[in-house]
Amino acid sequence: MIDLSTYISTTNEKAFAVLGLGRSGLTAACALTRSGAKVWAWDDNPTGREKAEEAGLELVDLNSCDWDAVQTLVMSPGIPLTHPAPHSVAEAAQKNNVEIICEVELLYRAVPKATFIGITGTNGKSTTTSLIAHILTSAGRDVAVGGNLGTPALELPRLDATGIYVLEMSSYQLDLLSQLSFDIALFMNVSPDHLDRHGDIQGYIKAKKHIFERQTKSDTAIIGMDDDYSREVFDTINQTGTVKTIPISGSTRLAEGVFVVEGHLVDDAFADEKDVTNLNSIERLPGNHNHQNAAAAFAACRRVGLTDDEIIAGMSSFPGLAHRQELVTAIHGVRYINDSKATNADAAARALSSYDNIFWIAGGRAKEGGIESLSPYYTRISKAYLIGESANDFANQIGSSLPYEICGTLDVAVEKATNDASQSPEENPVVLLSPACASWDQYRGFELRGNHFKECVAKLKLQPVKEIAS
């Protein structure tokens, strides 16, 4: 847990109010307390308050506290700041001119001399974050990775001036920063998401653009160019002239950028259109979206001084990320891909564009629009296996466009998809779990859904070949 005592010594004696006592909030409250700060902890959920009491924290109802005695509100990013309506505590803090931040801001205030790399975007930010951290670690750099990806910021180790924090940043977290300046900020892509929390797509983009705030000419903005919204963001940031901008793409040639053409990673930002490597040979980074992730990682790692060879070595040894086009295994020529993290159609499209002869498992709790946008990928799909509460709606959306079967549950879908894939006359069949849906109808999270898929596949390996193919 990060020691905040150096930062605390520079503050006044007013309290730090902490709202939301999940993992990150509880960590922040404990770190502040151990560092000598006065902390008022609160959670609207009794379970959160019980955990705080067990940790020895002082509980103060922030809905009726004395705001004159508070210097900072540390708020969980999951609590509404503006839309659909601000939480009453956030509203009270704003009225009393109390700053509202998240725990990532506290990390920066504790170790401002370290290098900070921030990654945001609708899709791909977790893979890009993990890929950058893996490459840097493989090259011997002192790295800590976390933020929105797994480990809360204040649970990371304390790094010195040579250390690098690689942080995945959600739009919610970016709304809660006030001093943090990213040395390298990556803006991957934008598609409509979390609009209930940001009002509309422009509100969502505005929150994402906070990642560039306070950057100077010594800093770097790496921006994806594979969607219209992001291209507009690039033009806006580039025209300011206040930061070094590098455009990146997974499929389009760019002047003075890093891009991928026909699978080849090309560097025109640090060299003169240098062909760096053939990404088609890296099995854990399939498809144009992963090629964009690779281009972004290359640009970020070159900016902190790594060589091409160090970056290529790190990419080649990258194990991939669980539940994101995760290659589970291959059984008798059939590959099994766990893409449970694909909780919307846009994410599922990225997986569907990466393979042919797909036996596609989809369904769950559908998001707005369903799977209508996926029809251009139907030619890659041999058959669909529909699960969860969206199964009938998805069947109606598919219609006669491709064969499908309503399976209801994941175990049934895996069995039926395996039977069909093992008898496919086409080469390289793939059983792909890419649901295009949230998991909440049958699972408490996409991780549990993905783990169940892997369990179902593991059971297949215990069965005789003829039984699987029957």
Where does the pLDDT of residue 466 fall: very low under 50, low under 70, confident under 90, or very high at 90 and above? very low
Q: Confirm whether residue 126 is marked as ligand binding.
A: yes
Q: Confirm whether residue 249 is marked as ligand binding.
A: no
* 389-429 pLDDT per residue, tens: 999 999 999 999 999 999 999 999 999 999 999 999 999 99
Q: Confirm whether residue 293 is marked as ligand binding.
A: no
Chosen CATH of 105-316 out of 3.40.1190.10, 3.30.470.20, 3.20.20.70, 3.30.160.270: 3.40.1190.10
What does pLDDT average to over the chain?
94
* 256-314 pLDDT per residue, tens: 999 999 999 999 999 999 999 999 999 889 889 899 999 999 999 999 999 999 999 99
Distance CA 62, CA 76 (A): 14
Distance CA 181, CA 177 (A): 9
Sign (positive or negative) of CA dihedral 339, 341, 343, 344: negative
* 46-84 pLDDT per residue, tens: 999 999 999 999 999 999 999 999 999 999 998 999 888
Contact 127, 77 (CB under 8 A): no
Q: Confirm whether residue 6 is marked as ligand binding.
A: no
pLDDT the model gives residue 465: 42
* 96-122 pLDDT per residue, tens: 999 999 999 999 999 999 999 999 998
* 123-168 pLDDT per residue, tens: 889 999 999 999 999 999 999 999 988 789 999 999 999 999 999 9
Give which of 444, 445, 453 is closest to 412, Cα–Cα.
Answer: 453
Q: Where are the domains of the chain?
A: 5-101, 105-316, 326-469
Distance CA 200, CA 458 (A): 43
Q: Is the pLDDT of residue 464 over 80?
A: no
What three-state secondary structure class fits 158? coil
pLDDT the model gives residue 470: 33
Q: Confirm whether residue 238 is marked as ligand binding.
A: no
Q: Confirm whether residue 125 is marked as ligand binding.
A: yes
pLDDT the model gives residue 467: 41
Beta-strand relationship, 274-278 and 264-267: antiparallel
Question: Regarding the domain delimited by 326-469, which CATH topology (the fold level of the hierarchy) does it fall under?
Answer: Protein-Tyrosine Phosphatase; Chain A (3.90.190)
Instruction: Say which residues have a Cβ less than 8 Å from residue 38's Cβ, sequence separation at least 6.
Output: 13, 14, 15, 16
Chosen CATH of 5-101 out of 3.40.50.720, 3.50.50.60, 1.10.620.20, 3.40.50.970: 3.40.50.720
Q: Confirm whether residue 121 is marked as ligand binding.
A: yes
Q: Is the pLDDT of residue 195 over 70?
A: no
**H-type helices in 304-409, by residue range?**
308-316, 345-352, 391-398
216/1: higher pLDDT: 216
Where does the pLDDT of residue 10 fall: very low under 50, low under 70, confident under 90, or very high at 90 and above? very high
pLDDT the model gives residue 192: 67
Distance CA 95, CA 15 (A): 17
pLDDT the model gives residue 468: 40
- Measured between its terminal Cα atoms, the distance across the chain in Å is 54
Least confident of 75-79, 283-287, 331-335, 371-375: 283-287
469/377: higher pLDDT: 377
Q: Is the pLDDT of residue 194 over 80?
A: no
